[in-house]
């Protein structure tokens, strides 16, 4: 297969996959950007029991515009899922989860995990691990700059 054919195949595969994820509404019950931010905050919370994440880290990890991350945080604060706090020098903003409300996010996350489990069952564990490895490789590449 020539390079152009492979490139077209990658685009088509990408479009099909994103269409499946969009149509199954992988984050049912929560706006996608909210679910992404909560995923990062919850992961930190599970690691250290506090879940404090810097605003700039959320921007870096999500690749969202600062203004979009800010609006997303505002929305999550209004929903009672996050609390905003300033850093020691007041130039850094942090967020942390509201532990007693995490069950609301986790209900959405469980549905996402169920969908991902279906994907793993279709492609198998080995291909799922390969998918993660390849996605991580792409994310670590200059494409992600």
Cβ proximity of 35 and 76 under 8 Å: no
pLDDT by residue (tens digit) across 69-105? Answer: 999 999 999 999 999 987 666 678 899 999 999 999 9
The domain ranges of the chain are 3-144
55 vs 66: CA distance, rounded Å: 8
* pTM exceeds cut of 0.85: no
Does residue 60 register a pLDDT over 80?
A: yes
**Token pair of 25, please?**
């509404």
pLDDT by residue (tens digit) across 27-59? Answer: 667 888 999 999 999 999 999 999 999 999 999
pLDDT band at 142 (very low <50, low <70, confident <90, very high): confident
28 vs 36: CA distance, rounded Å: 12
Domain 3-144 has what CATH class?
Answer: mainly alpha
> Which has more pLDDT, 24 or 57?
57
CA angle, 114 then 133 then 10, to 5°:
85
Does residue 144 register a pLDDT over 60?
A: yes
Residue with tokens 């995923």: 39
């Amino acid at each position: 297969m020539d390079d152009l054919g492979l490139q077209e195949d990658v685009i088509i595969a990408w479009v099909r996959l994103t269409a499946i994820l969009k149509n199954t509404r992988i984050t049912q019950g929560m706006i996608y950007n909210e679910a992404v931010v909560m995923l990062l905050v919850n992961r930190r919370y599970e690691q250290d029991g506090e879940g404090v994440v810097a605003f700039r880290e959320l921007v870096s990890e999500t690749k969202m515009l600062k203004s979009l991350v800010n609006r997303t945080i505002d929305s999550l604060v209004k929903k009672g899922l996050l609390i905003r706090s300033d850093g020691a020098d007041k130039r850094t903003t942090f967020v942390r989860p509201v532990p007693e409300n995490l069950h609301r996010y986790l209900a959405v996350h469980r549905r996402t995990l169920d969908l991902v489990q279906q994907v793993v069952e279709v492609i198998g564990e080995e291909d799922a691990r390969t998918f993660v490895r390849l996605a991580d490789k792409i994310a670590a590449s200059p494409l992600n700059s």
